[in-house]
Amino acid sequence: MPAVTDGVQLLVDAIDEAFDRRSWHGTTLRGSLRGLRPAQLAWRPAPSRHNIWEIAVHAAYWKYAVWRRLTGERRGRFPLPGSNWFDRPDPAGMRAWRDDLELLTTMHARLREAVAGLQPGALGRRTGGFTTAALVRGIAAHDLYHAGQIQLLKRLVPR
């Protein structure tokens, strides 16, 4: 297999491998969210700590935020009111959870499309204090960070 030398393709691969594509590192963000029960989604390790559901929507929001920076889209188009962290229904309902999981998938697809459409010369352009390439690498790292956090939370949920 030939080596990938296209920086844009490397970034697309990085966000895909962090989100839902097979990779050596183990569970992806999307993989960490498979097969969860309402009790797992809503459980908090301590008062005022985030649950798995909130982490998933937080990840969707940051995919949107990076997409917005890459495309120059104006603020205020994220489907949920607010920013960063979002209170989710308690008790957790599976219909609402599926809707939020779809939101995460949609935000990833938008981000992926924007990254795939980048010109190689744009990777060094600064936006919000970071290069475009660093911003995209960062959102891949963000997915992996939260995938690990979710994997840990799943193991801590009382049975």
pLDDT of residue 92: 65
CB atoms within 10 A of CB 124: 11
- Quote the pLDDT of residue 112: 98
pLDDT at 1 over 60: no
pLDDT of residue 137: 98
**pLDDT top residue among 62 and 128:** 62
Q: Which amino acid is at 10?
A: L
H helices of the chain, where?
7-19, 29-32, 38-42, 52-71, 94-116, 132-156
Q: Is the pLDDT of residue 3 over 60?
A: no
What's the length of the chain? 159
Cis peptide leading into residue 91 (ω within 30°): yes
pTM greater than 0.75 (yes/no): yes
Q: Is the pLDDT of residue 10 over 70?
A: yes
- The dihedral region occupied by 126, where left means phi > 0, alpha psi between -120 and 50, and beta the remainder, is beta
Range with the poorest average pLDDT among 28-32, 74-78, 114-118, 152-156: 74-78
CB neighbour list of residue 73: distance below 8 Å, 6 or more residues apart: 67
| Domains of the chain in sequence order | 7-156 (1.20.120.450)
The string of pLDDT tens digits covering residues 38-59 is 889 999 999 999 999 999 999 9
Query: Per residue in 89-141, pLDDT tens?
Result: 766 688 999 999 999 999 999 999 999 999 999 999 998 799 999 999 999 99
What is the pLDDT, as a whole number, of residue 2? 47
